[in-house]
Amino acid sequence: MKTSVQGYPRIGENREWKRALEAYWKEEITAAELQEQMKAIRLERLTRLEASGLDLVPTGDFSYYDHMLDTAFMFNLVPERFASLSGNELDQYFAAARGTSEAPAMEMTKWFDTNYHYIVPELEDSWVPDVTRNYPLEQYREAEAAGIKTKPVLVGPYTFMTLAKGLEAEHRDSCMSVLLSLYAKVIVELYEAGAPLIQLDEPALVTSLTREEAGQAAKWLQQLLDLVPKAPLQLQTYFESLTHWDLFAALPFHAFGLDLMYDDGDTLQQLRQHPPHQNAALAIGVIDGRNVWKSDLREAQQLVHSVQSLCPENQLILQPSCSLLHVPVSLKQEERFVEDLKQGMAFADEKLQELQLLKQVCTGAPESTLDDHQASLSRFRKRYPAAGDTSSEKLAMREPVFSRRAELQQARWQLPLLPTTTIGSLPQTTDMRKARTAYRRGELSAKRYRAMVEEKMQRWIKLQEDIGLDVLVHGEFERNDMVEFFGEKLDGMAVTQNGWVQSYGSRCVKPPLIYGAVSAPGSMTVSETAYAQSLTDRPVKGMLTGPVTILKWSFERSDVPKSVTAYQLAEALQQEVEALEEAGIGMIQIDEPALREGFPLKREKRAHYLDWAVNSFRAASAVAQPETQIHTHMCYSDFHDMIDAISAMDADVISIETSRSHGGLIQAFEDNTYDKGIGLGVYDIHSPRIPPVQEMTDMIERCLNVLPAFQFWVNPDCGLKTRNESETEAALRNMQQAAETVRETL
Ligand code: GLN
Ligand code: ZN
């Protein structure tokens, strides 16, 4: 029996990786220095993996930005707009990832249902297919030189092509044969270099494919196997079960890697019905690779036992359910957790230890080998029992219906047509960030910190009034992050000190933990919001993060259904809605940017998901008085298949991204006879560029062709915290002018 992992975090124990990249981007270090630092990080990482006792250490999963981008570059799939840029190869790579003033960045989107973002390859007609650099081979050789034999990891051809854009359906077959010949070249080189196993990641196979689609994928994979008959390939999937497993079981892969944790128990059943061909090794994911809790190794042991009857022991590989990329590196630096809680946790390095323990006990070590591990797990479970209170599950309904509420709200606010507002956060300047760090370290008093937040609010309330915005925000100056902020306040949640996970590029997030029943100990946002409201006669929107988003961007208990936790969060937020109303706040925005991301990969699970997701939002918001206007915000563009759900959320106003889809999304709302308020995100806040007035008036007018003016609001497409103050002011002034210009024509 062997142990392996599909991948491991790139960022380093202290985010050395992020620092190196950002130093290079700021031109503080040279390309050679960056290469040197990256090499050191790679080698440290390899040594760590090897020392943990892993039999198969991965290479090729390391990247300077993203592995999909690496694969595109490996195959010379560089969009033309970057190919002509001057500078070294690295600069071209980073230009594609991050954009330049002449060439907008390649699109970035979420990797399946995770918060990791990959770069979307662009299949252009001008592509000259070629293997320009075999990155996995370079990493393989580097490891070999350091005395470590590794397992190269590649994104598989099916997943790579499925996630790329610009390919028309009728060209899929020819594109695939080109890709397969490139893959074959890379794989042969790896094989000839002596790679003992080569992992092909094919998570796209676990989405809701029809039998025909799965059959096509299997055929393509067979073609690849025919091209490289001797190469020891492992087909690896994760995040769900492989619905049409029977189509793949007989393919002559050397190994199959399957997720036995996120599969609803399907995989074992499928394996029983259709065992893989006799010579195949089975790499089974029996340790949760995307959550931070200690594994129940007795349960894992059972699972391994069940598989053992299907596959000889020497052909079994134990591994996590997926790459460890999605969890923080090490618990070592977490000093603040109470011991019983920490005992219940496992980050990447602790999961490596679990794999070894599991292997020992599955290969003859006495049962007592697991005693210590299981004892600390029991202590954790006893201290923090999985709470299952679902009292909010009954359908929460806001009364009266929207049309009546809209009248009452209009009578209260007397807003003009196309009211203007923003999404919540205003620029987080360096002085504010520094002050927060100092405050946390105890170097700045609570009073001084608060005074600084108030000063920012004063300045920006004035500025928002001066610009002419109709509905103001307090600016979220007191918040580090929209989820972590609530994670710090809510009971049952905790934040880590160093639990960073890569989100996109060098950007890392620190998801909070939901370790117990969630509740609000007191009000969380009232004081700042009420202060801001006291400074103006215009309405200030209260600003909350919705239950689904808090859940999705945290590490939640794996032994509590997501819906239960979402309802607990909803109840806590409901209290906050009431507290804000009591303090005189009459508009409250409850952000749900992660609602779309939580969409299950399997289509048949979506209705259930939307049911509890929508209903928990309603549970949070339905207590609001009829005159209180509830807003929500989402910033992903693909809502076409969920307008009904959005409508069922029953928010009075929803703000959505409009700028990058050029208003195209609004059509979907029309087709579904959506009758509530829609905030048009008329400019892209991800860019420092100041949008001209005309561009935004055009956008608004396009939308007015589709739906009546009284439904629309005008706003940026997301929060402004990452922009600087002068850009923000200029952009908002233009936006206000655009709204006023169009208003005059109505
Ligand atoms: N209110 C949040 C902000 O403005 C919303 C952020 C988001 O949608 N990601 O920052
Ligand atoms: Zn947003």
- 635 annotated to bind ligand: yes
Q: Is 293 annotated as a binding residue?
A: no
- Report the pLDDT value the prediction gives residue 665, as an integer from 0 to 100: 74
Distance of CA 141 from the midpoint of ligand 2 (Å)? 43
Residue nearest to ligand 1 atom 1, measured at CA: 424
Q: Which of 482, 553, 715 to mutate to test the pocket of ligand 1 (most atoms within 8 A of CB)?
A: 482
Atom of ligand 1 nearest to the CA of 719: 4
Question: Is 423 assigned to a binding site?
Answer: yes
* CA 713 to ligand 2 center in whole angstroms: 15
* 3-state helix/strand/coil string of 503-570: EECCEEECCCEEEEEEECCCCCCHHHHHHHHHCCCCCEEEEEECHHHHHHCCECCCCCCHHHHHHHHH
Where helices occur in 84-124 by DSSP H, the ranges are 89-98
Q: Which atom in ligand 1 lies closest to the alpha carbon of residue 479?
A: 10
Looking at the CA of 659, name the nearest ligand.
2
Record the tokens describing residue 120, joined without a space. 């979307």
476 is in an annotated binding site: yes
Ligand in closest contact with the CA of 591: 1
pLDDT at 684: 85
Q: Tell me how far apart the alpha carbons of residues 543 and 482 are, in angstroms, rounded to a whole number.
A: 9
Probe residue for ligand 1, chosen from 545, 591, 595 as the CB with the greatest number of ligand atoms within 8 Å: 591
Distance 251 CA to ligand 1 centre (A): 46
* Of 604, 595, 589, 590, residue with least CA distance to 643: 595
| Closest C-alpha to ligand 1, atom 8 | 593
* Complex confidence, ipTM: 0.99
Number of neighbours of residue 612 by Cβ within 10 angstroms: 21
Amino acid type, 696? M
If 0-12 CB within 10 Å is exposed, 13-18 middle and 19+ buried, where does residue 149 land? middle
Taking only the tens place, the pLDDT of each residue in 702-735 is 999 989 999 999 999 999 998 999 999 999 999 9
Q: Is 322 annotated among the ligand-binding residues?
A: no
151 annotated as ligand-binding: no
**Which atom of ligand 1 is nearest to 423's Cα?**
4
Describe the crossing of helices 526-534 and 562-582 by its angle, rounded to 10 degrees: 30
Residues 6+ away with beta carbon under 8 Å from 406:
652, 676, 677
Which residue, judged by its Cα, is nearest atom 10 of ligand 1? Answer: 719
| pLDDT number for residue 660 | 65
Q: Whose CA is nearest to atom 6 of ligand 1?
A: 719
- Nearest-atom number in ligand 1 for the CA of 424 is 4
Q: pLDDT per residue over 128-153, tens digit each?
A: 999 999 999 999 999 999 999 999 99
> Which residue among 425, 549, 717 is best mutated to probe the pocket of ligand 1, counting the most ligand atoms within 8 A of its Cβ?
425
pTM over 0.90: yes
230 Cα to the center of ligand 1, angstroms: 51
Residue of minimum CA distance from atom 3 in ligand 1: 719
Report DSSP state, residue 630.
Answer: E
As for ligand 1, residues whose beta carbon falls within 6 Å of it are 423-425, 476, 482, 543, 591, 593, 633, 635, 718-719, 721
* Nearest listed ligand to the Cα of residue 552: 1
Residue whose C-alpha is closest to residue 591's, from 541, 527, 557, 637: 541
Q: What is the pLDDT of residues 41-90, one digit of tens each?
A: 999 999 999 999 999 999 999 999 999 999 999 999 999 999 888 778 89
* Buried-state track 580-604, b at ≥16 Cβ within 10 A, e below 16: bbebebbbbbbbbbbbbbbbbbbee
d(CA 408, CA 411): 5
CB 52 within 8 A of CB 352: yes
* 115 annotated as ligand-binding: yes
> Quick check: is 686 catalytic?
yes
Alpha-carbon distance of 402 to 407, in angstroms, equals: 9
Q: Which ligand 1 atom lies nearest to the CA of residue 545? A: 1
CA of 633 to the centre of ligand 2 (A): 6
Q: Which ligand number lies closest to the CA of residue 592?
A: 1
Return the half-sphere exposure (C-beta side, CA atoms, 13 A cut-off) of residue 195: 33
CA-589 nearest atom, ligand 1: 1
Atom 4, ligand 1: residue with shortest CA distance: 719
From ligand 1's centre to the CA of 563, what distance in Å?
23
By alpha-carbon position, which residue is closest to atom 5 of ligand 1?
719
- 553 CA to centre of ligand 2 in angstroms: 14
424 annotated among ligand-binding-site residues: yes
Residue 235 to residue 229: CA distance in whole angstroms: 14
* CB burial string 526-541: b at 16+ within 10 A, e below: bebbbbbbebeebbbb
| pLDDT mean values, one per 10 residues, the chain (746 residues) | 98 97 96 98 97 98 98 96 84 92 85 93 94 97 97 98 94 97 98 98 97 98 98 98 96 98 96 94 98 98 94 95 98 91 96 98 97 96 80 77 97 97 97 95 96 98 98 97 96 96 94 96 97 98 98 95 94 97 98 93 95 96 97 82 91 85 73 89 86 95 93 96 95 98 97
Beta strands at 150-155 and 198-201: parallel, antiparallel or unpaired: parallel
Nearest protein Cα to ligand 1, atom 9: 593
pLDDT at residue number 325: 98
Question: What is residue 453's predicted lDDT score, i.e. its pLDDT?
Answer: 98
Which atom of ligand 1 is least distant from the CA of 718?
8
The pLDDT score that the predictor gives to residue 105 is 86
Q: What is the DSSP letter of 675?
A: -
Q: Is 101 helix (H, G, I), strand (E, B) or coil?
A: coil
In the set 117, 326, 474, 686, the catalytic residue is: 686
- Rounded-to-integer distance, Cα 220 and Cα 4, Å: 26
